[in-house]
Structure formats: C-alpha cells, structure tokens
C-alpha cells in the first residue's frame, strides 16, 4: 500500500530491518565509554577521507546515492568481507557510513532518519577523544587514522536538520 514511500528500498520491511540493525549498532555505541567511541570516530573519519579521495560523498548521502545507487549494498558487502570482519575497528567505522547512507537517503522513513540523528549524537561523545585515539592506534600497530574533519556530520543527520 505504501510502497511509493520507499522506491529504492522496495518495501517497508527492509526499512524496518535497517532500523533494527541501526538500533543494535546504536546500543553497542551507547555501551562504550568515551575513549572507545573516540576510536570509532577516528576510524570512521579515516574511512570517510579514503572514500572522499576515491570520489565518494559520505557526508552527502542523497548525492552519494545518486552518484552510486549501489553504495549501500557495496558497503554492506564490504562489512561482511573476511578482511573487515577480522578488523573490528574498521567494521565499526564502515557501519557508521552504512547506517548514515541508509538514514540520510532521500527516501528514508522518519524513524530511520531519527535513528541516524541519534547515531551522530552518540558519536559526538567520542569527538574530543579522536585525536588521542588516533595516536594510540599507531602505538598499537594499527595505521594512524586520518581524523581531519572528524567532527563533521552527514547532511540530514544533524540534531536540528530536517
């Protein structure tokens, strides 16, 4: 009956599944202390910078999905890959962008968009710790993440955006 509301997703059931996945990820983030969230923010920033260098627009979900309609499916497949599964810091970083694309899509249902706003409000707790997390990552033998612009929020997912 309401399929026209979700033209890209095809059915409300898929949006409900996406919302459940995002709610689960959000619960994981809420259980983290600020320092642990700093790692998520640092590596999410690093993934964003890599994707921007390759021509993607993670901070502009609507434009990114117009540019690459398969961006959501590609990110989901990348997260499921064995290489990413073996690197939890990278998996969490990619999940930030997967859920941001879903929640920031022009056809995202209001409940999914609200969860996306909550995601970024939660990530804000880790913003002050991102610099220290980046240095600590290098000390742990991980590549030091590029955290330039780590405090930027995708379009439509800020606290007062529509």
How sure is the predictor about 3, in pLDDT bands with cuts at 50, 70 and 90?
A: very low
**Can you give the pLDDT at residue 117?**
97
41 and 51 Cβ atoms separated by less than 8 Å? no
158: which DSSP letter?
Answer: S
Q: Mind listing the pLDDT tens digit for each residue in 43-92? A: 999 999 999 999 999 999 999 999 999 999 999 999 999 989 889 999 99
Specify whether the CB–CB gap between 134 and 144 falls below 8 A.
yes
Q: Please tell me the pTM assigned to this model.
A: 0.90
Q: How far apart are CA 131 and CA 18, in angstroms?
A: 31
Kindly indicate the confidence band of residue 106, based on its pLDDT and cuts at 50, 70 and 90.
very high
| Contacts (Cβ under 8 Å, ≥6 apart) of 46 | 93, 143, 145, 146, 147
- Distance between CA atoms of residues 77 and 29, nearest Å: 22
**Helix, coil or strand: residue 22:** helix
Query: What is the percent of the chain where pLDDT is above 90?
Result: 80
At 11-38, the pLDDT tens digits run 566 788 999 999 999 999 999 999 999 9
How long, in residues, is the chain?
A: 162
Q: Specify the pLDDT at position 98.
A: 97
pLDDT at 162 over 60: no
């Amino acid at each position: 009956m309401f399929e026209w509301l979700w033209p890209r997703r095809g059915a409300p059931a898929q949006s409900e599944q996406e919302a459940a996945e995002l709610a689960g990820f959000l619960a994981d983030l809420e259980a983290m202390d600020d320092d642990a969230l700093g790692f998520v923010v640092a590596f999410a920033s690093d993934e964003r910078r890599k994707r921007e260098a390759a021509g993607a627009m993670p901070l502009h979900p609507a434009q990114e999905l117009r540019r690459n309609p398969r961006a959501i499916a590609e990110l989901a497949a990348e997260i499921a890959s064995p290489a990413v599964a073996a690197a939890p810091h990278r998996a969490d970083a990619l999940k930030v962008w997967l859920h941001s694309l879903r929640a920031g899509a022009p056809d995202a249902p209001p409940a999914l968009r609200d969860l996306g706003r909550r995601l970024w409000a939660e990530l804000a707790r880790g913003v002050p710790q991102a610099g220290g997390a980046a240095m600590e990552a290098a000390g742990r033998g991980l590549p030091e993440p590029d955290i330039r612009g780590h405090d930027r929020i995708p379009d439509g997912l800020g606290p007062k955006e529509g």
